[in-house]
Amino acid sequence: MAGNTFGQLFRITTFGESHGGCVGVVIDGCPPGLSISQAEIQIELDRRKPGQSNITSPRGEQDIVHIMSGISDGQTTGTPILLLAYNKDVKSEDYLHMKDLYRPGHADFTFQMKYGIRDWKGSGRASARETLARVAAGAIAKKYLKEKLNIECISYVEQVGNIKTNIEFQKVKMSDIESNIIRCPEQEVAKKMIKLIESVKAEGDSVGGVIRGVIRNLPVGLGEPVFDKLPADLGKAMLSINAVKGFDFGSGFEGVSMHGSEHNDEFYTDKTGKTRTKSNYAGGTLGGISNGEDVHFRVAFKPVSTIMKRQNTVDVKGKEVVLEAHGRHDPCVLPRAVPIVDAMSALVIMDHYLRHKAQNM
């Protein structure tokens, strides 16, 4: 396989390029009988699309999703689902001046070395536009998990540059996340983040940050020992997202400064008779298998690679040149990456739920 397919029982294959005719996804393994509409999928795509605020790319795509197969009379049929969105606002001429250059931070050089050819128009498959397909598929997985199992996948911007919210993830609600354009649930911190992004944008530069992911109401038992641990698959899912440079789970790297007596999550029995843990440094799993507590993790995003400042690089012949890029790019990818993290979380959990059910008939 060429790396375009993700999942085992709930499997998606994405296709399309940034400046091609369309971007889409084939979803195989979705159970029949799930009520899902174009409008419900569109809600998630609208959270990801460009042009939604002054701190995102101004590319004018509406990203209207078209359901081509697998859904009849508003319900999934159990057959492969094909979703696609046509590219409408393509301006390939914006990339002509960079056609024969290797842009710093981009995949131009590695694609050229690997394939002997590359799509210079908007980066082709290396473009974050491919994530539209993931979000479309994730909308279906999110609907199934919430409606059938009461499992909720949410994420929010925890940090931009050096500005960070310390809000407790257990208290965050979707309405708080969607209350501002940066998708940080703490309003005063959100204002500072937005101001920073606007300042960086005015300088022709970019800035990165951290998204916190949370998965609630998971049953005990999801995840496979050894290679397919739940955190391992979540890590692969998040690290496959464009611009992601780091992933930590539960206490993550902060756990190294703790002693075992502090880090171990002690067990107790709650009022309903359920076995619970008093703390959750493990991040909602033990041995790679869900333990019934909230799964939580962090995803680090680098600053966007295309900036308006002069940068040194080389062309395809190895000649040193100076790049002065222009075009329509995000000064910070974080606001639009939130629904992508949600989608990848839902795809992992949906796949592991079906695998668990298949093994434990």
pTM, entire model? 0.95
The string of pLDDT tens digits covering residues 298-341 is 999 999 998 889 999 999 999 999 988 776 678 999 999 999 99
Of 123, 169, 150, the C-alpha closest to 19 is 123
Question: According to the model, what pLDDT value does residue 123 have?
Answer: 76
Average pLDDT, the chain: 93
For residue 285, pLDDT over 60 is answered with yes
Lowest mean pLDDT among 6-15, 32-41, 314-323: 314-323
Q: And the tokens for 146?
A: 């919430």
Q: What is the mean pLDDT of residues 235-259?
A: 97
> Which residues share a beta bridge with 301?
209, 244
Tell me how far CA of residue 80 lies from CA of 97, 131, 216, in angstroms.
Answer: 41, 19, 28
More confident residue, 175 or 88: 175
The string of pLDDT tens digits covering residues 101-146 is 898 999 999 999 999 988 877 777 888 889 999 999 999 999 999 9
Distance CA 186, CA 180 (A): 9
**Class of 5-359 in CATH:** alpha beta
Distance CA 198, CA 165 (A): 18
Sequence spans of domains, the chain: 5-359
Q: Output b/e per residue, 238-277; b: 16+ Cβ within 10 A.
A: beebbbbebbbbbbeeeeeeeeeeebebeeeeeeeeeeeb
Could you give the count of Cα atoms lying within 13 Å of 262 in the half-sphere of its Cβ? 7
Could you give the count of Cα atoms lying within 13 Å of 169 in the half-sphere of its Cβ? 23
Distance CA 277, CA 195 (A): 39
> Which residues share a beta bridge with 343?
none
Instruction: Let me know: does 214 contact 172? Beta carbons within 8 Å.
Output: yes
Q: What is the mean pLDDT of residues 234-239?
A: 98
> For 215, left (φ over 0), alpha (ψ -120 to 50), or beta?
beta
> For 294, left (φ over 0), alpha (ψ -120 to 50), or beta?
beta
> Which residues share a beta bridge with 275?
269
Query: Whats the size of the chain, residue-wise?
Result: 361
Q: Work out the pLDDT band at 92, boundaries 50, 70, 90.
A: low
Instruction: Let me know: does 191 contact 346? Beta carbons within 8 Å.
Output: no
Distance CA 221, CA 352 (A): 9
Distance CA 303, CA 204 (A): 12
